[in-house]
Every structure is written in C-alpha cells, then in structure tokens.
Amino acid sequence: MKAPFFATVLSLVPWIVLEIEKLIENLDITTCLAIFGVVFVGALYFIHVIALCYGTFHLHKVNEPDAALPGVSIIKPIMGTDENLETNLTSFFTADYHQFELLFCFHSPQDDAVPVVKALIERYPDVDAIIFFQEHEVGFNPKINNMNAAYMGAKYPLIMISDSTIFTRPDGILDLAKRIMSEEKLGLITQIPYCMDRVGKANCFEQVFFGTSHAKIYLAGNFLGFNCPTGMSSIFKKAALEECGGMAAFKDYMAEDYFFGKNLAARGYKSGISNQPALQNSASTTFTSFANRVGRWAKLRIAMMPQVILVEPLQDCFPAGIIMALSVHYLFDITIPMLFVIHFFFWISMDYMIMRVLQNGPLTLPLIQFFGFWLFRELSSAVIFIKALMTPSVRWRNNIFHVRWGGKIRDRISV
C-alpha cells in the first residue's frame, strides 16, 4: 500500500515544480514587493499577539519563599541622587529574601548619594551592605569600571545588577533567584523594563513607551529565544560569567548586558525574563532626557546590529500601516483608507492591552492621555532614529564614546 502512495506523490512533483515556475514567471517586481509588504507587517502583527499572550501567562506570578535558593549579591551602581533615590534603595534594604548582600558602587567618595547610602546602612544594621569606591579603570566602559570591584568582592553565587533608579517589590529578588535556578543552563535572567506610576507628563510618556513599543519587542523576543537582556535589572550565575572571563572581559564594550547574554549563549547558556517587571522610578525624567536615552540605545543597536537600519524605521504603527495598506490594495484592490483604519485600531488596541498586562490591571492614565502619549511616541520615534543615524557618537554621563561596528568602544572623550 505504501508503494502506490509514494508513487502517486512522486508523480505530482513535476506538476508542482511546473506550477511554481509558472507562478514565478507571472510575478512582477511590484507584486513581489506587495507580497513582501504583507508578510513583513503580518509578522509585526504576530509579534503583538505573541507579546500579549506571553506576557499574560508569564508575568506577575506569585512566588513562595524557598530557603534552598542560594544567596544573592546585589550590585548597585550609583551616580548622583534625586528625590526618589532613598525610596528606591530602601525597597532593597527591606526586600523579602533570606540571604543577600548590597554592594553600592561609586566613582568617588564625593558623590552626592554617598550620605544617603550611609544613612540607610545605619538605619538597617542587620542588612549586609558594603560601599565600594572605584580605585582604577579596567577599560573604557564606565559602568564596568564602577562595578568591577564589587563583582570581585561578591560572596554569593548569584549576582544581581540593579540600577539606582529601580524600585523592587518585596519578592523581586526571590522572583529573579527562583527563575534563574529553575534550569541548570539558565545563565542570565532580566526583568522586563517598566515604570512606577508617577505624576508628570514626561514620566507618563516614558511609562507608555516601556509599556507598549518596547514591551512587545522585549516579550516576543524573549519568547522566540532572541538575546535581548537589559542591564538595569538582571541576575546571572557568577560561575557562568567567569567562563566568559568575568565582568572585566566586557570592559571595552558598550551595552555590556547584550554582550553578557551573547557570550553566555555561545557557551550553551540560555537567557530569559523573570515574572516581575523592573520598576523604574527616576524623579528626574524629562522629554529631552528620554529622547537622549532612547537615542543612545538606537545608536548602540545600529553599531552592534547594522541590519536594524533597514528594519527599525518601518516597525512602528504608521510606516507599517502605509506598507500594509498599499500592499493589500495592490493585491486585492481594497480601499487604502479602510485598510489603514483597520490597521491603526488593531495596533493601538494591542498596545493598550499589552500595557495593561505590564501594569497588571487598569492603567492609571485616562484613555485620552494614553492615546496622546502613544501618538506622540509613534510620531517622534522616526525623528529620534534619524538623529541617531546622523550623530553616531554616544554621549553617556560625562563622556562621549565612539563605537566600532560590533559594539566595541574605539575611544572615549571626557566632557
């Protein structure tokens, strides 16, 4: 019975090949571009769906305490202070985890945040906390220079890096530790960036960005297994990073978090995200500082992965809508305005639902404000990206960096 079946299938092969050849012969350039446009934007729709589903089922899980988990050394690089610094740091001093140490890293004893940290250490004498001052530079990357002494002095097998602007929930450390210890080959776990509810237009704008366009790429990328960690709040196994040469091995790379994940993956380790988002709680966000921050990230992506130049400008709502409307109109003669309206409402609705997932409930923003900030972000993203292309040098803190293709720093200029 098998022989006639396979014979029938084989007899169809020449016909299938002939039909494909006819299809290719009848395709013109415009039709091919239209098909490509539908496939490209369809993939963006699929990213929305993946992000919404993965976020819904993965985020905000409740963690039960587990005394069998190893200790965690929490490295806190700090430069300067703001109104929320004490609140953010206090959330770590009062975290609900059975064994951890806080390692505060400063470039200088004259930093304005040093008295804040010393006061908290005195207030919570039962918490194991140490202050480190940078003694020398190991490379170009100032964050690595800042953290390396604390990394070398860390006494626990799990290392958490947490920026000073991060507020942690009581079970935040537990969530990260439990997630990374759930599999032997997990080497790096990060928290998806989000924001605390704060007042102020710039703060709300930042929250909409991290709850929509950033969140969907981050959630879908992690589900699909891409390397997309974030350095603002992450945990890794120290033994795994030692296989890569330790923290000092990344001294001359910008975006050290990306290269942590890349080098760990090359050694067979996996990356992932925790169940709790990272809650950014800076008191000094402005529209300018946000644009500079996002622009800096764009410059680094261009340097590390030049192919994003072709894709990134087209992945936002309006460029994608134009591509889909024109493509479907050409292929099926459906009116362009109707196609664009359908696309627009699908896109913004999915973004709104994804942000609700990050928020773990209703948004504190009124719907009209969400729409306004969302629209402003969509319209401003192209401007930020073009500016990043035009001025590739990266300004961070008091330094200007020139970055080679691949992400390695060529030189650094202090300003």
Active site residues: 257
Q: Which pair of structure tokens corresponds to residue 210?
A: 């991290």
CA distance linking residue 187 with residue 126, whole number of Å: 30
Q: Is 17 exposed, middle or buried (0-12, 13-18, 19+ CB in 10 A)?
A: exposed
Beta carbons within 10 angstroms of residue 414's beta carbon: 8
User: Nearest to residue 144, comparing CAs of 112, 176, 105?
Assistant: 105
CA distance linking residue 56 with residue 282, whole number of Å: 26
User: Nearest to residue 245, comparing CAs of 234, 230, 256, 231?
Assistant: 256
Q: Is 288 helix (H, G, I), strand (E, B) or coil?
A: helix
86 contacts 120 by C-beta, under 8 angstroms: yes
Beta carbons within 10 angstroms of residue 288's beta carbon: 9
Count H helices and E strands in the chain, helices first.
15, 13
Tell me which DSSP letter residue 70 carries.
P
Say how many Å lie between the first and final Cα of the chain, rounded. 80
Q: Which pair of structure tokens corresponds to residue 272?
A: 């992932």
